[in-house]
Structure 1
Amino acid sequence: MEVRHGRELNETRDRLERWRVKQAREAFRTGDQWSELTARLSVKEVSAFLAAECQIPRRDVARFVRLAKVLGADRELYIEKGVAVSVLLDLAGQDEAVRSEALRMIRSGRSLQSKELRALKRDISLERAAAEGALDRTRIRDLRNIAVRKARAGVDAWLASLEKVVNAAHDVSEFDMLKGNTLTMAPKKIDRLAIKAAKLVEELPALVGREFAKAPVPDRPRSGKSPGSWPEVFATLRAMAKRRMFIEHRYERPETTVMDFDPHIVAQLAWAFGYDGCTDGDKARDRMREAGSVPLATQPGPEPTPFDRRNKPTVLEICAGAGGQALGLHAAGFSHAGLVEIDGDAAATLKHNRPSWPVLNADLRGLDLSHLKGVDLLAGGVPCQSFSAAGMRLGANDERDLFPEALRLVRELRPRAVMLENVTGALHVGNAVNRLRILSALASLGYDAEWRVIDGSEFGLPQKRRRSVLVGFQQGIMHRFRWPVAIGTPAPTVGEALFDLMSANGWEHAGEWGERANGLAPTLIGGSQRKKGIDLAQEKSRQAWMKIAVNPNGRALEAPGPGVPADHNPKLTLEMMARIQDFPEWWSFKGSPQQAFRQIANAFPPRMAFAVGASIMRALTGREIDLPAALLKPLAEPEKVPSEFARKFSMEARRQSAQRE
């Protein structure tokens, strides 16, 4: 038995040795690739490429670069010995003396560990300092470490004393409720409490400094949230040291005065230990968010408490179109701080359907939006023709490319998150360099960003609509973001999605058509203002439409009526196109039929925007949602706008009420 186990262990060792050799060789090849790429592209662009599209951690990018440069001369030895990639990357960042000693150790047969490099660096530095007669900096470090430990011990002792004061104050408060007037019935307890509080106040400056210990108490109203702060804790202790711990109550019958112990004292002191006076989970999470912390839920919980209107994360949407993306982001919990759209008809569509939204009909180029600095999310479907096949994939060379304007707004407004949607052509090989420049620009602005393709059919859309989406966050947020995954249930076919509309005029063969239309629609293509006429497809996708029994050449004014043959392939009405694009039934489009078609077909469907928006919302707030369950519900309802009569009536009622007062 032992012999058999020994053979298994030997086989495992040999297999892992071969794997380590292979990994070491590939690590050096990655470094070589860097050198080749930087001969043609900038360092920032290649760094963005390795981090965003090759999934190499950002901290490792520079280390791979050094790997090829500083260890290249001895690469065959490192490969032969199968040195772990983590050790190679750490070694590449060391100075020449450490690298030389490590190389000798590896050549001797040592299996070097990364933690040994740090100790090696320390000891070699000591030898160098001794040889040069330099000062021993470790003595300063040792003193600092001792000072930190002593300070921590002092704070821990002070907090332990504070905890005793909190418990004593709680006992006095309980005594007050049971026995009545605390000031006259428990004077010794009050004296001891004041002495302990005075001692804590006296010890404070040595621990935190006089400025922090005497910081002014923030002027915040008392509420159910039980606000607190360290200055408030310190102020409470100072008041207790002066025996200001009571609230005077006067009663007329019988005429008497009672001094009650201040019930706020315990809550104000207990705040220091994390107690906020409320165990409600949603309120506790809100308090953490207000303080700048984000509790991250990993499983969907009960229906979350809706955001207060004032606390809703805000979004500035550029190139807003007819509102498909806006509907999805609004359903995900964002409040629109602004929607910018250059097309007058699309802007009119937004204003008509959502009068409360701040819509700006303007050209984005050079537009001053500085009043929106600090918005939570910058989102938009920047013009896609410059990245599409129909647009010749001109990318940055296309006058319609508005990515530079989007980056300008990121630089000026500093949003916490960015979401830019485009056609999948943005990820085409011909647009790789321009894509990397965008990632590089975001990285230089301090944003972590990724580019992925999502498919609308994976989220219940009856259409094979694949879009590329760029999502970025200020540093420190990306770790909470994950891309939405398919909900796991099949999307409805075109026949299932449109049957009621196709049979609305009494076509007796609508059911048979529905069986023939048993697939997903190809991507609706709206095109730019240069496109004339209405057709659903380019040449490549025309046959795909015919396979699901739909004529893509133009549009129908209405659904087929009685007497239309069973083998008829109908055209789609604008209403049918809007449903395929997931617009709600009540959403109406302004402008000519040509303009309405363009607004519908160019939209980012609401449920796709909702899926990505919900993932961004989770990263910003930590709130998890059940995406499949959420997509079963209507994402939007018509906005209830009072009639002109109702508005006038309300104004007159307020005027009369003011007169009476």
Structure 2
Amino acid sequence: MPELREERHEVGTCVELFAGGGGLALAVHAAGFRPLLVNEYAKRACETLKSNPPDPDEPTKRWPLIPGDVRDIDFTEVVSDEVDVLAGGPPCQPFSLGGVHKGMEDERNMFPQMFRAIREMRPKAVICENVRGLLRPSFRPYFNYILNEMRLPFVERDKNAAWEDHNEILEKLIANDSIDVSERYMVKEMEVNAANYGVPQIRNRVIIVAFRADLGIDWDEFMPKETHSEESMIHSMREGGPYWTERHKKVPADVRKRVIANLPALDYENKKVKEKLKLEPWRTLRDAIAGIDENEGKPLPYVTEEAVKDKLPVGDIPDHIGWPGARMYTGHTPNLLDRPAKTVKAGVHGVPGGESVMQLDDVNFANFGGGDGYRYMTVRETARVMTFPDRWILDGPRGEKMRQLGNAVPVKLGTAFSKAVADALKSVGALEDPEKRK
């Protein structure tokens, strides 16, 4: 049965920094938070935000965008309303495996601006998403410092002090519990795989959620539980399983047999496996193309060899355009249709690893410029893997659109955490009736 788009009810306000192509902004908005300010630096991403309304039911409304460098924004001047949620994913390239690994020394490290925004707006909650690279041993000490700064954002670092010295001060204050509760935040870090929350993509990330300590919120009660599992996906793909009998009836028999033959064994007597089987199956790339959630029952039109050769649009869905020249070689292998897609990337060295290439059912499919049997994913297929709605139009040439997607937060993952934050704030009466604010 198609999963219908839920009716949205306004519950509070938000500010979104480092908005990029709009993934987390869409997610926080879907959870009911009205945007007071949205900031992004990249020109093409700003055009994307300008072109797309937050809500399709109100097509004339636009995001309250302030483009440009976040360091130039005085939040005390431009945000007059009370801020319930501050959300953002500070640029991840300093800490990403696809970047140049400068970390805290990289000028693109914008965590200090998140802390300044907290000081100037005093939001009730903060949602921050970033790459798992922050947890690497070389960056872990600095990541611990990030968490400490978020716990005590009003204890500012002296501009001449090293971060290690400031961290020592913060740790002593935290240990002594000597800062007023109204100037402290309770902070939780979570390592997540987006596939476990219904995103058709293996995407390992770190999500940081913080609440003002004076609110007395116990986040453990509201942290979203995983809803999907690999074990359940494997089980659904057995011969006669619902993956084939309900979702993908038209998959060629030889393809189905090959997939089934390569499925790993499951220990059905194992307690952990039994628990995982109670969850929904991981979504696959084939699922995304066929249509899931609000795109349920709306399969993307088949991309022909002609469309790949001549870069032709396919159907009337935006950004569904063929692209030639996909290649496959050692270390650069394609996405498989019957698995979640690989992590969509946008690194400084281009897109490595074959993340934008997909293996096809038709082994003789000519992609022109590469080998047979695979092709580049279209921008729209990639957007579906990131769980953007088909109405969302990205600005710029193909490479720029893919970059925006690679830097984005999957909408479905962001929504799960944004709704959980809303529920946590409601539980302590921290969200005022929106009608009283108008």
Query: What TM-score results when the alignment is normalised by the length of structure 1?
Result: 0.41
Find the residue that maps to 2:375 and give its secondary structure: coil
Counterpart-to-counterpart distance in 1, 2:339 and 2:50: 35
In structure 2, the partner of 1:587 is 392
Q: CA deviation at 1:612?
A: 0.7
The 5 Å alignment of 1:558-637 reads 568-622=373-427
Counterpart-to-counterpart distance in 1, 2:341 and 2:198: 12
The alignment status of 1:523 with 2:343, answered yes or no, reads: yes
In structure 1, the partner of 2:328 is none
In structure 2, the partner of 1:478 is 217
State the AA in 2 paired with 1:465.
Answer: R
Q: CA deviation at 1:401?
A: 0.1
RMSD value, Cα: 3.1
Find the residue that maps to 1:365 and give its secondary structure: helix
Aligned residues with identical type, % of pairs: 30
Q: What whole-Å deviation, never above 9, does each CA across 1:216-274 have from its counterpart, x for those lacking one?
A: xxxxxxxxxxxxxxxxxxxxxxxxxxxxxxxxxxxxxxxxxxxxxxxxxxxxxxxxxxx
Q: CA deviation at 1:480?
A: 4.6
State the AA in 1 paired with 2:405.
Answer: I
The 5 Å alignment of 1:44-123 reads none
Q: CA deviation at 1:305?
A: 9.6
Find the residue that maps to 1:471 and give its secondary structure: strand
State the AA in 1 paired with 2:347.
Answer: G
Q: In structure 1, list runs of 5 or more residues that go unmatched.
A: 1-302, 508-513, 551-559, 624-661
1:383–1:516 Cα change, 3 Å: closer
Which structure: greater helix fraction?
1
Equivalent residue for 1:357, pick from 59, 63, 77: 63
In structure 2, the partner of 1:447 is 185
Counterpart-to-counterpart distance in 2, 1:441 and 1:586: 38
**Conserved? CA contact 2:41–2:69, under 8 Å:** yes
State the AA in 2 paired with 1:549.
Answer: Q
In structure 2, the partner of 1:549 is 359
In structure 2, the partner of 1:247 is none
The 5 Å alignment of 1:198-347 reads 307=9, 312-347=11-46
Q: In structure 2, list runs of 5 or more residues that go unmatched.
A: 54-60, 154-183, 228-278, 291-298, 307-333, 429-438
The alignment status of 1:466 with 2:204, answered yes or no, reads: yes
Counterpart-to-counterpart distance in 2, 1:577 and 1:304: 23
Q: CA deviation at 1:571?
A: 1.2
**Conserved? CA contact 1:422–1:469, under 8 Å:** yes
1:424–1:515 Cα change, 3 Å: closer
Number of residue-to-residue matches in the alignment: 293
State the AA in 2 paired with 1:372.
Answer: V
Find the residue that maps to 2:281 and give its secondary structure: coil
State the AA in 1 paired with 2:21.
Answer: A
Tell which structure's C-alpha radius of gyration is larger. Answer: 1
Counterpart-to-counterpart distance in 1, 2:337 and 2:152: 49
1:397–1:477 Cα change, 3 Å: same
Q: CA deviation at 1:519?
A: 1.2
State the AA in 2 paired with 1:325.
Answer: L
Counterpart-to-counterpart distance in 2, 1:448 and 1:590: 38
In structure 2, the partner of 1:491 is 282
Find the residue that maps to 1:454 and give its secondary structure: strand
**Conserved? CA contact 1:393–1:430, under 8 Å:** no
**Conserved? CA contact 2:187–2:210, under 8 Å:** yes
Find the residue that maps to 1:387 and give its secondary structure: coil
Q: CA deviation at 1:461?
A: 1.2
Find the residue that maps to 2:130 and give its secondary structure: strand
Query: What TM-score results when the alignment is normalised by the length of structure 2?
Result: 0.61
In structure 2, the partner of 1:381 is 89
1:322–1:364 Cα change, 3 Å: same
Q: CA deviation at 1:449?
A: 0.3
Counterpart-to-counterpart distance in 2, 1:461 and 1:338: 27
**Conserved? CA contact 1:480–1:622, under 8 Å:** no
Bigger relative contact order (CA 8 A; separation at least 6) = 2
The alignment status of 1:408 with 2:146, answered yes or no, reads: no
Which structure: greater strand fraction?
2
